Structure 1
Amino acid sequence: MSAGLPAATVAGLYRAACLAELDALKPGNVHAYAPGHRMVTADFVTSAEVSAPPLAARGARVGARVRGGVEATMEAVGQNTNLGILLLCAPLARAAEEDAPLSDALSSVLAGFDASDASDVFAAIRRANPGGLGQAARHDVTDTAAVPPLRDAMEEAAPRDRIARAYTDGFADLFTIGLRALAKARETGLAAPWTTTAVHLAYLTTVPDSHIARKHGPDRAEAVRAEAATRLRGLDLAQDNAVAVLLDYDRALKAAGLNPGTSADFTVATLFLETLLCARGEAA
């Protein structure tokens, strides 16, 4: 049986995943090679540090972890830098405490939300006020008088939001896209941070980015996915020209105001999941 991890270990792995993602060149996002969207890497470094304790608080429910992380982040940097990261990493952190295999523990976490989880997650979303949030016909987060069960709200949002979908499909993208891309990158001889770039590109070219969809519409999100798949097809991250190619695309996306933030969120969560599995002695 797998052994649960202590809070200090979970917090350390979470911080490491956040920082590793920043070191990678990810077209359209904030990273060590270039800022963007009125944000710099220092904002994200601070956010990782202050959100780690609530994210890893042993015994805390998922909603409390997300809300605590968002509140700490907003107090420290004054803007939303990690709502999506926290929504993806909080269930993983809670599952990592359990003595069951991580995938089984994650399934139990996703099936075991209570009213406080919904209330806290909705409050965190309102506090972060992510770009392009808009309003929903049902289960709108701004409706504080009628908070639905978290699972119901995520199922309602799943067709338009990849993070919400993760709550309904057992975080399938992390396993079928993220971990596979990470393993493949290592098999080809890549080392970090290029393995992280490979994970980000796998998300960017495989599924339309939800952050782009919220701000610019689903058609634009799909167009960006298709363009990325075409533009980056055959790119060898081990070659010297990879930096120039990716930075050129990075500038183009930022000039158009396009930020594939959900792809970055899933990249962090992939790194976090993989290190949790390794720390617990489970195969990634």
Structure 2
Amino acid sequence: MDPVFVGKCAQIASVLEVSGHPKPGNVHRTQDFSDMAFEDFLLSGIAIGNIMAKTASKGFDLRKTPEKWGKIGLGNLILEAVTETDRWVANNTNLGIIMLLTPICAAAGMTNNINDLRSKIDQILRLTTPKDAVHLYQSINIADAGGMGEQEELDVGSDSSTQKLLDENINMFHVLEMSSEWDCLSYELTHQMPVTFDLGFPLFNKIKTKHGINIATVQTFLTILSKVPDTLISRKYGEKKAKEVSLQAKSVLEEGGILTENGKKLLEQFDQRLIENDLNPGTTADFTASSIMINYLNNYKEYKI
């Protein structure tokens, strides 16, 4: 796919995700947090566009030489996107989104066929290098988003970890694999992105066709949350609390979610309940963004002139 198109899809996915209203427990167009505003997320989504296009260009250049895919520099591209975001906003607004969208962009640069993306994403990630892992650690520290390695020996906050990654030849895929037991974003990246491709993308596509973008965004978010306990919540409050939130999301969906009047009323109450209790399903937002991006990549034929 054309790298410029891919970069625009990344921007679109980022800004549509945060614009979803009322997306429960998260910043949206009528709701800010005390330390970050709706506009911060818009800035973040726009800021990464050129780097996502650059990532797609790297994928395009290496598309015929799979043995060189380790030279894409996926970790460094993630680091560039996080660094660029940090120039525009004060807090971590999009690390998870960047981690999901960067390999998608690299794969999209290699093919026009949406059905080829998953296998290419998996190959790209498996062929990452220890330097990619080091750059990922640096990205996490810039974004101040711990948790990727806190439960293992290779703690992202430890100064000795980055050298150990190089000394023991541990690449980025293996780092994510180690944290996949407790981090659903890491699981997503090491298992061919099942939430994005099997759940979020087809649902968003179906609802968008019938009901438009906002309703599709919110219903996709709510559905993912109902099925996948959010890592950000479990990290802060424990797995039990994350599962409770997922059950609450499921109960809202059973009343129709945003698709019905009663469901929408319950959704708004759910949103405020999460906000009042500082329960932020941030990883669910990341999955929603990646699902939206695949939908727009799927429209590539319509984009071509």
Q: TM-score, normalised by structure 2?
A: 0.84
Q: Cα–Cα, structure 1 residues 202 and 236, in superposed 2: closer, same or farther, change >3 Å? A: closer
Structure with more of its chain in helix, by fraction: 2
Q: Which residue of 1 aligns with 2:65?
A: none
Q: Which residue of 1 aligns with 2:278?
A: 257
Q: Cα–Cα, structure 1 residues 140 and 86, in superposed 2: closer, same or farther, change >3 Å? A: same
Unaligned runs of 5+ in 2: 59-71
| Alpha-carbon shift at residue 79 of structure 1 (Å) | 0.9
Moved more, 131-140 or 214-223: 131-140
1:156 and 2:178 aligned: yes
Amino acid of the structure 1 residue aligned with 2:207? A
- Tell me if structure 1 keeps the 8 A contact 2:226–2:247: yes
Amino acid of the structure 2 residue aligned with 1:262? T
Q: Deviations over 1:66-92 (max 9, x none)?
A: 111111111211110000000000000
Q: Deviations over 1:177-219 (max 9, x none)?
A: 11232244246x2211101111101111001001111111111
Q: Cα–Cα, structure 1 residues 40 and 95, in superposed 2: closer, same or farther, change >3 Å? A: same
Q: 1:146 aligns with which of 164, 167, 172?
A: 164
C-alpha distance in 2, partners of 1:33/1:79? 19
Q: Deviations over 1:124-154 (max 9, x none)?
A: 0111112666822322212233123212211
Q: Which residue of 2 aligns with 1:30?
A: 27
- Alignment map for 1:106-255 (pairs within 5 Å): 106-130=121-145, 135-142=150-157, 143-147=161-165, 148-186=170-208, 189-255=210-276
Q: 1:269 aligns with which of 270, 290, 301?
A: 290
C-alpha distance in 2, partners of 1:186/1:84? 24
1:86 and 2:98 aligned: yes
Amino acid of the structure 2 residue aligned with 1:161? D
Q: Which residue of 1 aligns with 2:88?
A: 76
Q: Cα–Cα, structure 1 residues 105 and 169, in superposed 2: closer, same or farther, change >3 Å? A: same
Moved more, 194-203 or 127-136: 127-136
Computed over aligned residues only, the root mean square deviation of the Cα atoms, in angstroms, reads 2.0
Amino acid of the structure 2 residue aligned with 1:15? Q
- Tell me if structure 2 keeps the 8 A contact 1:110–1:170: no
C-alpha distance in 2, partners of 1:262/1:236? 20
Q: TM-score, normalised by structure 1?
A: 0.90
Q: 1:64 aligns with which of 69, 76, 81?
A: 76
Q: 1:17 aligns with which of 6, 13, 20?
A: 13
Q: Cα–Cα, structure 1 residues 246 and 277, in superposed 2: closer, same or farther, change >3 Å? A: same
Aligned residue for 2:92, secondary structure, equals coil
| Alpha-carbon shift at residue 36 of structure 1 (Å) | 2.6
C-alpha distance in 1, partners of 2:223/2:297? 21
| Alpha-carbon shift at residue 108 of structure 1 (Å) | 2.0
Amino acid of the structure 1 residue aligned with 2:44? S
Q: Which residue of 2 aligns with 1:53?
A: 50
Amino acid of the structure 1 residue aligned with 2:8? G
**Number of corresponding residues:** 276
Amino acid of the structure 2 residue aligned with 1:31? H
Unaligned runs of 5+ in 1: none
Q: Deviations over 1:11-69 (max 9, x none)?
A: 11111111111221210011113223532110001111112222321215221221111
C-alpha distance in 1, partners of 2:92/2:38? 13
| Alpha-carbon shift at residue 241 of structure 1 (Å) | 4.9
Identical columns (%): 27
Amino acid of the structure 2 residue aligned with 1:102? L
Query: Runs of 4 or more off by more than 6 Å in structure 1?
Result: none
- Tell me if structure 2 keeps the 8 A contact 1:5–1:98: no
Q: 1:105 aligns with which of 120, 124, 127?
A: 120
C-alpha distance in 1, partners of 2:97/2:154? 22
- Tell me if structure 2 keeps the 8 A contact 1:133–1:214: no
